[in-house]
Amino acid sequence: AHSYTKYNTWSEIEAWTNTITSSNPSLVSKQIIGNTYEGRSMVLLKIGKSSASPKPAIFMDCGFHAREWISPAFCQWFVNEAVTTYGSDSAMTSLLNDMDVYVLPVFNVDGYVYSHTNDRMWRKTRSRNSGSSCVGTDPNRNFNAGWCTIGASSNPCSDTFCGSTPESEIESKNVANFIRNNKSTIKAYLTIHSYSQLLLFPYAYTFSLAADHSELLKVAEGASAALTSLYGTRYTSGPSAATIYPAAGGSDDWAYDLGVKYSYTFELRDTGYYGFLLPESQIKPTCEETMLAVKYIAAHVQKNL
Ligand code: 0X9
Ligand code: ZN
Ligand code: ZN
């Protein structure tokens, strides 16, 4: 059965998207943005008070990398917090009155399933590569942002394989199409990974600073401070190339270059003691602290609409 304090399987998550939507019809709607390579649905939830005119929006995805199980757990937590605190928490109420939040709870569904059934440390998609017996592409090397120029591999057997072309992966194409089609409303792009306790922003494909560097850094530092205030978890903020490593083809850089100014990658707990195998006992504290950072960024975006 589904629980917010365990690592749910894809079938539990998919069933949960239906129950959370039907239990909160005035706040949540569900759409399928396309199918995965293996034919599963890519389910997107839209959270927000319905309005006559189109609302500005924040897009957040989880589960790019299969083994980073805390990431889909956070997206589920966020949706639950949104629906349970709307009407009582003034920041959440105001956010969902003024904006919509699109939440993709699992991007790499096929990989997530494979990490449950076959290989707990799987990272990539599950697409077949022509001329190789190695499977999968790194979806966070597969976007059209300096594609495959640095920190990515053209070897299909590598865990950072960039794919045969930008958006070769159907999952990347589905998300990129959705964001392109809603470019005029999407004001922020948040992508949730683990681990390392970092709050990253463009660029990763170059050491050059983004045009909005100082604002992105200021907001990241405010968000990190909010996160730390709950349990003392230390985060580092900065541009990806200098803070984690240079790597091209990321969705964050792609969204930023498309014009989505507030583009952030979270690397959630921990710093390596458990790494990807973060115990379920840490789901609740990790999600509660991360909520504060996401709400800080959302409030800044909302203030600057
Ligand atoms: O390498 C990645 O894709 C991310 N780290 S992870 O350990 N979760 O794989 C960092 C992404 C930072 N942004 C870009 N490289 N564009
Ligand atoms: Zn990742
Ligand atoms: Zn809470």
pLDDT bucket at 97, cuts 50 / 70 / 90: very high
**Domain at 56, CATH number:** 3.40.630.10
Residue 31 domain flag: yes
On whether residue 294 sits in a domain, the answer given is yes
Percent of the chain with pLDDT over 90: 99
Residue 4 maps to a domain: no
The confidence band for 252, taking pLDDT boundaries of 50, 70 and 90, is very high
On whether the CB atoms of residues 200 and 244 are closer than 8 A, the answer is: yes
- So what's the pLDDT on residue 206? 99
Q: For residues 247-286, b (16+ Cβ closer than 10 Å) or e, as one string?
A: bbbbbbbbbbbbebbbbbbbbbbbeeeeebebeeebbeeb
pLDDT digits (tens, 9 = 90+) for 274-287: 999 999 999 999 99
pLDDT confidence tier of residue 203, bands split at 50, 70 and 90: very high
Per the domain annotation, does 34 fall within a domain?
A: yes
Query: Is-catalytic flag, 267?
Result: yes
Q: pLDDT tier at 170 (50, 70, 90 boundaries)? A: very high
Q: Are 292 and 230 in contact (CB under 8 A)?
A: yes
Give the domain extent around 73: 10-303
- Return the best residue to mutate from 107, 125, 137, 140 for the ligand 1 pocket (most ligand atoms within 8 A of CB): 140
Average pLDDT over residues 83-99: 98
For ligand 1, say whether the CB of 255 is within 6 Å of any of its atoms: no
For residue 102, the CA-to-ligand 3 centroid distance in Å is 19
Q: Give the mean model confidence (pLDDT) for residues 217-240.
A: 98
Ligand 1 pocket mutation, candidates 267, 268, 276, 277, criterion most atoms within 8 A of CB? 267
In a domain, 36, yes or no: yes
In a domain, 133, yes or no: yes
Give the number of domains in the chain: 1
What is the pLDDT at residue 273?
98
Residue among 12, 267, 288, 289 flagged as catalytic: 267
Distance CA 69, CA 87 (A): 30
- The predicted complex's ipTM stands at 0.97
Per-residue confidence band for 208, with pLDDT thresholds at 50, 70 and 90: very high
pLDDT value of residue 15 = 98
